[in-house]
Amino acid sequence: MNLRIKKNFVTKMLLGLSTIAFLSGCVNDQSDKTYDDAVDIPTNQEMVAELTSPPFVPTPVGKRMAKKLIVDLEIQEREGEMVGGVKYVYWTFGGTVPGSFIRTRVGDELEFHLKNHPDNKLPHNIDLHAVNGPGGGAESSFVAPGHEKVFSFKVLNPGLYVYHCATAPVGMHIANGMYGLILVEPEGGLEPVDREYYVMQGEFYTEGGYGDRGMQAFDMQKAINENPDYVVFNGHVGALTGDNAMTAKVGETVRLFVGNGGPSLISSFHVIGEIFDKVHVEGGDLLNHNVQTTLIPASGSAIVEFKVDTPGSFILVDHSMFRAFNKGALAMLNVEGEENKKVFTGEIHDGIYLPEGSVIQSMPSLDRKKAKEEVKALSFEEKMKFGKDKYMATCVACHQGNGQGIAGAFPPLAKSDYLNADVDRAIDIVLHGKTGEITVNGEKYNSVMTAQALSDEEVSNVLTYVYNSWGNSKKEVTPQMVEAVRNR
Ligand code: CU
């Protein structure tokens, strides 16, 4: 070995040793916490747990001592709306999907009262991933309609845990909405933040396709094939958009408790326009920083935290994009406050760039037979209702629930001079799409709208809704008018 090689070798050895020392330091920080001693934390008082409906969470535990915590949770089978005009019978913990949020701390003794409402049709139970014990409580909590089961457990491990029904067929009970989150805070509580919200993804399998009206039954074969019609946050399409959007102010730190009920899909959870400053990976102790998209397994969770630096609408998605824009996996956080040009300037220049071959893409028609079986609107009121449903399913992501559009990106439909000037042009844009610069209410827009694969009936409904909303000119569009534009 010549001297030079020897020197390199020694340097590498030293570097290697220091790396090992550094790594073991890190590992010690994160993996030595076993919480074995939590079993001996005394509880000498009793309190009833505060339970909340999503997207809200109970008060942080802070510095409170461990207690006997009574959790009262009622199972309800109830009808709800998946998206406009689509009904579904949800099975719920506490009347909502996801179920009520439970907040506890290490050392608490949980006395769990699970009630199955007498109007329900089926037995259910609960498996809490925060339990150290057989079935996570499932066997002890199996309860028939009109009955109540009580079991208790000591809370040993901190973290954000999923709970779900585990009654056979388990996949079906979960697919009908039977899941929620239980947060176990460490001794002393989580660090305080300005806002906390509860968001949980889940997918639904219906006999009809996306948006097919009426009562939709669960489809076992689609569930086995893992091919859902809906992938949503908080139980239905639009649960957290428009008036239901979450809110924050510039400069605040937002903490999202995010779960994935599944039953089958993994979520690529992302917030458009934000970076997670901190992620509690899989809801446990491991902290990651500066994360764009975090994976949330079926029946797993993550706690994500970020400071909002600029005002605007921030869109939560499963970044498997067709789930977000075609199956409903989209939620919204609206941030108000002063702009900060140091962080984000907005648009500085808008030039024209039209390479060869740029064409408008059309939305593929998913189901041709749908047009034949279509339910036709029989009155103006029905046209408005069907039109609104179609709008909320198809147009809302860009043009927004109140027709305001998104400044600098998508033009407004509310009090729109461009829209009100020419009905045939509006029909043509819905049928064939639109690209290139247009001026709406004095502002220039240069975005792309794709052609929409809608029937004449659907186009007439949605445009009638748009023309009769938000201060527009109150025109009624008929299927015949749409057909005339289609055929010209
Ligand atoms: Cu169940």
pLDDT in tens, 89-123: 999 999 999 999 999 999 999 999 999 999 999 99
Residue 171 Cα to ligand 1 middle (Å): 9
Average pLDDT over residues 298-321: 96
Residue 125 Cα to ligand 1 middle (Å): 6
- Sheet with 127-128, side-by-side order of all strands: 102-105, 179-185, 159-164, 127-128
Q: Which domains does the chain have, with CATH numbers?
A: 38-185 (2.60.40.420), 195-336 (2.60.40.420), 376-487 (1.10.760.10)
Percentage of the residues of the chain whose pLDDT score is greater than 70: 88
Average pLDDT over residues 8-16: 43
Residue 358: predicted pLDDT: 53
- Burial class from Cβ neighbours inside 10 Å (0-12, 13-18, 19+) for residue 44 reads exposed
Residue 122 Cα to ligand 1 middle (Å): 7
CA neighbor of 424 nearest in space, from 432, 435, 416, 413: 432
Residues 6 or more apart whose CB falls under 8 angstroms from that of 344 comprise: 309, 310
- Of 50-64, 162-176, 289-303, 364-378, the one with minimum mean pLDDT is 364-378
Residues 6 or more apart whose CB falls under 8 angstroms from that of 229 comprise: 204, 205, 206, 208, 209, 210, 222, 327
Element (H, E) at 338: none
Distance CA 369, CA 208 (A): 11
Residue 299 Cα to ligand 1 middle (Å): 15
Residue 91 Cα to ligand 1 middle (Å): 7
Residue 221 Cα to ligand 1 middle (Å): 19
Parallel, antiparallel, or unpaired for β 246-249 and 330-336?
parallel
Q: 429-453, pLDDT tens digit by residue?
A: 999 888 888 999 998 888 778 778 7
Residue 88 Cα to ligand 1 middle (Å): 16
Distance CA 176, CA 173 (A): 5
pLDDT-based confidence at 355, cuts 50/70/90?
A: low
Residue 64 Cα to ligand 1 middle (Å): 33
Residue 49 Cα to ligand 1 middle (Å): 22
Average pLDDT over residues 245-265: 98
Which residue has better confidence, 423 or 453?
Answer: 423
Residue 237 Cα to ligand 1 middle (Å): 22
Element (H, E) at 170: helix 170-175
Q: 180-195, pLDDT tens digit by residue?
A: 999 999 999 999 999 9
DSSP state, residue 249 = E
What proportions of the chain, in percent to the nearest 5, are helix, strand and coil? 25, 30, 45
Residue 167 Cα to ligand 1 middle (Å): 5
Residue 175 Cα to ligand 1 middle (Å): 10
Residue 86: predicted pLDDT: 95
Q: Mean pLDDT across the chain, nearest whole number?
A: 88
Residue 447: predicted pLDDT: 76
Residue 44: predicted pLDDT: 85
Q: 124-166, pLDDT tens digit by residue?
A: 999 999 999 999 999 999 999 999 999 999 999 999 999 999 9
Residue 142 Cα to ligand 1 middle (Å): 9
Residue 84 Cα to ligand 1 middle (Å): 26
Say whether pLDDT at 405 is over 90. Answer: no
Which region holds residue 290: left if phi is over 0, alpha if psi is between -120 and 50, else beta?
left
Residue 294 Cα to ligand 1 middle (Å): 29
Cα angle: 381, vertex 387, 391; to 5 degrees: 145
Residue 174 Cα to ligand 1 middle (Å): 7
Residue 166 Cα to ligand 1 middle (Å): 6
Say whether pLDDT at 14 is over 60. Answer: no
254: its two tokens: 């937002």
Average pLDDT over residues 339-356: 74
DSSP string, 88-116: EEEEEESSSSS--BEEEETT-EEEEEEEE
Residue 149 Cα to ligand 1 middle (Å): 14
Residue 136 Cα to ligand 1 middle (Å): 14
- Of 68-82, 141-155, 205-219, 424-438, the one with minimum mean pLDDT is 424-438
Whether residue 222 contacts residue 228, with contact meaning beta carbons closer than 8 Å, is answered with yes
pLDDT-based confidence at 4, cuts 50/70/90?
A: very low
**pTM flag (> 0.85):** no
DSSP string, 25-85: HHHHHHHS---GGGGG-----EEEPP-B-TT--PPP-TTPPP-EEEEEEEEEEEEEEEETT
DSSP state, residue 282 = G
Residue 124 Cα to ligand 1 middle (Å): 4
Say whether pLDDT at 479 is over 90. Answer: yes
Residue 3 Cα to ligand 1 middle (Å): 72
Residue 230 Cα to ligand 1 middle (Å): 20
